[in-house]
Structure 1
């Protein structure tokens, strides 16, 4: 839930159906959090980002609003001309502050936003130049790594990659390590990665962000069952499920589940899924990191940490790593 994945309507018989059935026929059951974001899911996530308990968005926004000039100095120290590549650019609400600082420093760069949504890329290419007339932009629509490879065919300049919004937290530790290894393999020595991490902190504060008293996060998780009903001919009775969140301060894993309140059967298309009473569906992870965890991840995956940018409360960090 730590970043918004732009909604994609997925037709019956598609990958959505296949992924849902694979997950609900597994033991233990799971659903992919990438399907949270239909139109209603988008609206609920906007409410989550406005909750006082959900500190992540404001924490990273504060870093970029107040420290982008300093971050631009770190980027420029690597030499002249470069490509700024943002993985999962979304609407660039936060990264626009860095883009502005880079332009004010009169640096020679091209911005390559990458997003799986063609709508997002079209919107960025149309609207960002209106806000930043000097910006050179070339949007890339597709998978992160395929589009990163495409960017390398377009330009051989130094790469500075942005992976913001605690996106890395949507992976467990093994997945995060594999992702960073794959990313390092696509980059060259002295390229930079600027990557956002939500830091370990008081467990009660973390849990409140994913289990708010108003039940907004609960409705966000349950909406995925509603989406299955709407798009995949499901018959989930939403009242037969409840949301449960847990946080382990030792491992830093904050996990969300839906719990079956009764023994029940649910039909999805031609398939029937059996639930035992109290059986869970694993929905997502939001991994939290210590500073030592972050440095260890960098060293394991071929990066050298060179700087950290914190918000004032030190809830969040944007780490700057250099490729070895």
Structure 2
């Protein structure tokens, strides 16, 4: 509640993107990943399919694979198929139900795999359980989720991962690349309106969980590419002058005023590798698709 009130009291109203991912939000995001306009998921999957053997080779046979934000299991399976002797797989996700479902589904498919599911907000402090193994650890952070953090926080987050790992441990991370404006715009403004529903679901959640009275037909989804900052911005825009109550708190919205809900930063390969170096990592390998729309990087922790 406090975080929501604080965000809505700012001059540019804002809400944390983590509020997008309740059960309904996670389901809508899964739908987004299959949309024709949303190139991100299918492009990353095509890279993982094409280079899975090379990636499995750098991860190593008996590693512990730690996935940040387990979500759907499609991507991890492409790696698991080539890593039969992993010491353990640790998916971390904020949505308990989603985590449980995906961990159980993987356990049915990979009988020999030791799965340790961790329900946590991976942007906060959490501890990895000791599994009595001195194996190399590799963090897996697909989906270009790193792009949802502003660059300063992204660097801080990468440092946090580096600290959790040991020298020589690895990070396999998906990073969306800068490209033409139209492709970017279409990816976040799909014709079916699924991204709009995903964004506006945040209001449903605040109504349900905090007793707010947002009227959905008086708000709309707005997403655009901000060239100056190299990011897609997602907003919820008020269509009229209105007042919204959350408990005993009241918030005024002017017509066209927005709540900033999410950013998705895009990088060049050089920009991301520079950030990785400044965060305690050494770039080892990078894989891209033919169009260079997306990249998957393998980094190791510097001593």
TM-score, L = length of structure 1: 0.86
The residue aligned with 2:198 is 220
The residue aligned with 2:52 is 68
Summarize deviations over 1:35-73 as a string: whole Å, max 9, x none. Answer: 223344344323322221101111111122232111111
Deviates more, 1:136-145 or 1:284-293: 136-145
Summarize deviations over 1:141-182 as a string: whole Å, max 9, x none. Answer: 2243654x3335743321111111111011111110110111
| 2:66 is the counterpart of 1:82 | no
In 2, Cα distance between equivalents of 1:113 and 1:197: 19
5+ residue gaps, structure 1: 1-16
In 1, Cα distance between equivalents of 2:33 and 2:130: 34
The residue aligned with 1:173 is 151
Q: 1:27 to 1:163 in 2, by over 3 A?
A: same
Select which of 30, 50, 58 maps to 1:46.
30
CA RMSD of aligned residues (A): 2.1
Deviates more, 1:199-208 or 1:110-119: 110-119
In 1, Cα distance between equivalents of 2:113 and 2:6: 44
CA contact (8 A) 2:86 2:113 kept: no
Q: 1:323 to 1:52 in 2, by over 3 A?
A: same
In 1, Cα distance between equivalents of 2:184 and 2:28: 19
Summarize deviations over 1:216-270 as a string: whole Å, max 9, x none. Answer: 3223222222332233222222222222212133532110112222221111122
Q: 1:263 to 1:121 in 2, by over 3 A?
A: closer
Q: 1:133 to 1:246 in 2, by over 3 A?
A: same
CA contact (8 A) 1:112 1:151 kept: no
In 1, Cα distance between equivalents of 2:27 and 2:103: 24
The residue aligned with 2:105 is 127
In 2, Cα distance between equivalents of 1:237 and 1:141: 32
CA contact (8 A) 2:23 2:98 kept: no
5+ residue gaps, structure 2: none
TM-score, L = length of structure 2: 0.91
| 2:212 is the counterpart of 1:234 | yes
Q: 1:63 to 1:83 in 2, by over 3 A?
A: same
| 2:277 is the counterpart of 1:293 | no
Tell me by how many angstroms 1:187 deviates. Answer: 1.6
The residue aligned with 1:19 is 3
Q: 1:248 to 1:218 in 2, by over 3 A?
A: same
Summarize deviations over 1:259-317 as a string: whole Å, max 9, x none. Answer: 22222111112211111233221110011110111111111111110101223332211
In 1, Cα distance between equivalents of 2:205 and 2:59: 42
Q: 1:91 to 1:45 in 2, by over 3 A?
A: closer
What are the residue-to-residue correspondences of 1:177-188 with 2, within 5 Å?
177-188=155-166
| 2:233 is the counterpart of 1:255 | yes
| 2:18 is the counterpart of 1:34 | yes
In 2, Cα distance between equivalents of 1:115 and 1:268: 28
The residue aligned with 1:270 is 248
Task: Give the match's secondary structure for 2:44.
Answer: helix
Deviates more, 1:22-31 or 1:188-197: 22-31
In 1, Cα distance between equivalents of 2:77 and 2:207: 38
Task: Give the match's secondary structure for 2:285.
Answer: strand
Count residues with an aligned counterpart: 301
